Structure 1
Amino acid sequence: MFKIILNNNKSLEINNVLLKEDYGGYETWEAIVADICEVFNMFEEIEFIVMGFGQDKWPVDCMYDLLCVAENLPKIIMGFSENIFNFELDFYEQGLERKLTFKDKGTFIEIFCKSRTKWNPEPMFECTSKKELVEMILKLYRNFIFYSQYLCKNLLENPLMDKFILEDTITKKVKTSFGVSLNPLE
């Protein structure tokens, strides 16, 4: 079964570490998200997990693979708020090279996995409910924001990140629309 998770596999014992300085030279929020992913990658405590399509744990990391997903989160969540569930996640990094295509099938979401390597997904299709997908994506987004606040708050507070950080009204609308309630951070 498909899962995508960003979690803290140990307890973070560092308090508001500034591992990357916001030097003010950023031109886009995507560049800041890339640096946040780099910070996450330095900590073994932060773990990015993708599973499904016959592989219990994909060989993913925070540095590159999480970035492929994180840069799409605001657009995906905004789509959910408009009941749009058709989107793609492209894990384009050399070695992994997989694309997930999400298609709204009315009562459920069909996920198709295409590999551009010798690895073959088995099965090629998996299904999930809209509620399960919304919950997964919202948890991933919430955890990304939380760990960013904890490890590199200065990057998260850069004004360019206003385009990445969604208003509470949007995430509340999505949670309410699909009956999702997020537990406190695990």
Structure 2
Amino acid sequence: MVVISMLCDIFEISGVVRFKVSGFGQKEWPVDCRTDLATVMEQVPEILKKIELNQYDFILDFYEQGMERQVAFNPDKDAIKLTCSSRTHWTPDPVSIHMKREQISRIFEDLYNRFLEVGEILCSDLIQDPLLEEWKV
């Protein structure tokens, strides 16, 4: 979505926003606001809808060139199994981890809310864009 990309460009240019991802054997993934945050944020509303329905079977795709990783979320007994796959030479180690449903819910809700809060501060005109209104949960 163009508006999300514009917001993420502003986040990157501002220098005050930092997007961090870690796990699967890598303390800090090589992600940025401009491309990777934009691709993640496009997916977040649908993920939040699934979480609200207690459906923890979805994929978070870091599809931008260079990252090219997916994290698959699947229910596994009382927890959620996260499995990372790579389409590059990088290999996740471990390939899978388990998290509680509440942790996953909190991560995505916090990411969504923080994105809107920072967007309101840095570029309130774009946060009110009708296209973004359709994206909002």
* TM-score calculated relative to the size of structure 2: 0.96
How do 1:55-134 and structure 2 match up within 5 A? 55-134=26-105
Determine if the alignment matches structure 1 residue 31 to structure 2 residue 2: yes
- Give the residue type in structure 2 aligned to 1:103: N
**Cα shift at 1:43:** 2.1
Q: Which runs of 5+ in 1 are unaligned?
A: 1-29, 167-186
Tell me what 2:22 maps to.
Answer: 51
Detail structure 1 runs of 4+ shifted over 3 Å in the superposition. Answer: none
**Separation of aligned partners in 1, 2:13 and 2:77:** 41
**Structure with greater helix share of residues:** 2
Tell me what 1:151 maps to.
Answer: 122
**Cα shift at 1:84:** 1.0
Tell me, what secondary structure is at the counterpart of 1:60?
coil
Q: Report which of the two structures shows the higher radius of gyration computed on alpha carbons.
A: 1
Larger RCO (CA within 8 A; separation ≥ 6):
1
Q: Which runs of 5+ in 2 are unaligned?
A: none
Q: How many pairs does the alignment contain? A: 137
**Separation of aligned partners in 2, 1:80 and 1:92:** 22
